Amino acid sequence: MTQPLHLAYRPQTLAALVGQPYVQTALTNAIAYQQIAPAYLFNGSRGTGKTSTARIFAKSLNCLSDEAPTVTPCGTCQSCRSIEWSNSLDVTEIDAASHNGVDEARELTHMVNLAPVLGRYRIVILDECHQLTTQSQNALLKCIEEPPSHVVFILCTTELHKVLPTIASRCQRFEFRALATQVITSQLRQIADAEGIAIADVALKAIARLCEGGMRDALQLLAQASLLSGEVTASQIIELAGGVSESDLLNLFDALANHNTFKLLQASRSLLDAGKAPRLILSTLLQSYRDLLILKAAPSEADLLTSPINRGNLRSLADQWSDETLQAGLTHLQTAENQLRYTANAHVWLEVCLLNLMPQRMPLSKGTSQVVPSHGKQTHGNSTSNLKEVWERVLVTAQPNARRLLEKATLVTLKENQAVVRVSPTDVSKFEAHADKISKLLQKAMQSNQPITIAFKAMTVVR
């Protein structure tokens, strides 16, 4: 049976460790100079090589092909093979998530007093050690601080803040960084060539960006991509990972640029029907607006781009949009993404957000027109559509409790920094008590430097 890629290409020596130069150098020198600490703490995000490094270090300490610990374990002796297959009598690998009780910790402290069977050291690898209970960590405390001379503890964690400071202070701590995009892309290219996987370089870069610095996640995605027919493209990778494709994003931008409300809502609905979460759609749009600003400011810095849209299409889009429109869109998306978590109807909220991104055409002389962002500075007109749009922006920026109150009101006049808001007769006093806060929200929505005075008008009740 063929091994999964993340297991088949797991590093077997410290020299083969990818993307962790400081960890690699420090542990190599520790072995070379025979300065082995009683306890190590490996901290870092998932898939960055913590457990692999722990196993390599264990093999280096206990390899039988040399008279002393070696930086190049043979991988063929009985000790190396048993560590690789997780059945070594001298290396105990424990999943702390399922063995996190005090009794297991006490049993471990008794076990480490036993002499090693084959190798030089009895090594304990505690994976996800932050899942140990406080009581079990305290039970191990003395053993980790002063273990027998033949015992080495290696603790691995993705959540260092959950490890007791008294434990962490007794270990040599190594930080495993998220791997750089270039490092992951280079490694994936070597593996793809070795496995005969036809995949474009831009697709490999898409994998590297999607996996957020984790090599294991990248290899899992490459293994999925290898099952596709033909040369794998970046768009296929994004679809495979459940992201928003380039074609979908271009449809949204085209609808925004052409002021096509129906097409914009149709594109939004298609994405939602395809199972894309509103937060994912807004986040991907945020990436695209960011990339457009980067491309306008520094056209040659392609490595900074993270959007699914390729550079050529981004270049075309950047030529169509002004810096002010993009900056206003970026600000609006950031606010909307933060507010999305508080709404009860995320789908409608997404559509409102997209409509607010749409530039508004302002008439100029002799039939010409100018496009300005609908969420930027505008003439304070009194048309119903303008007033409704301004009030929608107020609702977007308001906190949930304030929004519930403001949803009961209607903006009826806004002219020369004077606003009139129609409210229910029973709510007039409540609105007047928060007039200053509402004024600031309205000022922020209009991006105005002048304070706005608000008068609250009670709704006429028809009997």
Each residue's pLDDT expressed in tens, for the chain with a length of 463 residues: 578 898 899 999 999 999 999 999 999 999 999 999 999 999 999 999 999 999 999 999 999 998 899 999 998 999 999 998 888 899 999 888 777 778 888 888 888 888 888 889 999 999 999 988 888 888 888 888 888 889 999 999 999 999 999 999 999 999 999 999 899 999 999 999 999 999 999 899 999 988 888 999 999 999 999 999 889 998 899 889 888 888 999 999 999 888 888 999 999 999 999 888 888 998 899 989 999 988 888 887 777 788 888 888 888 888 888 888 888 888 888 888 777 777 778 888 888 888 888 765 433 333 333 444 444 444 444 555 578 888 888 887 788 788 888 888 888 888 878 888 888 888 888 888 888 888 888 888 777 777 888 888 887 544 4
What integer pLDDT is reported at residue 391 of this predicted model?
85
The CATH code for residues 394-458 is: 3.30.300.180
Q: Which residues of 414-451 are buried (b: 16+ CB within 10 A; e: fewer)?
A: beebebbbebeeeeeeebeeeeeebbebbbebbeeeee
Residues of the chain with CATH 1.20.272.10: 246-372
Residues of the chain with CATH 3.30.300.180: 394-458
Range 246-372: architecture per CATH: Up-down Bundle (1.20)
Residues of the chain with CATH 1.10.8.60: 181-240
The pTM of the whole model exceeds 0.85? no
Residues of the chain with CATH 3.40.50.300: 5-176
What CATH superfamily classification does 5-176 receive? P-loop containing nucleotide triphosphate hydrolases (3.40.50.300)
Q: Measured between alpha carbons, how far is 84 from 7 in angstroms, rounded to an integer?
A: 11
Range 181-240: architecture per CATH: Orthogonal Bundle (1.10)
What integer pLDDT is reported at residue 312 of this predicted model?
85
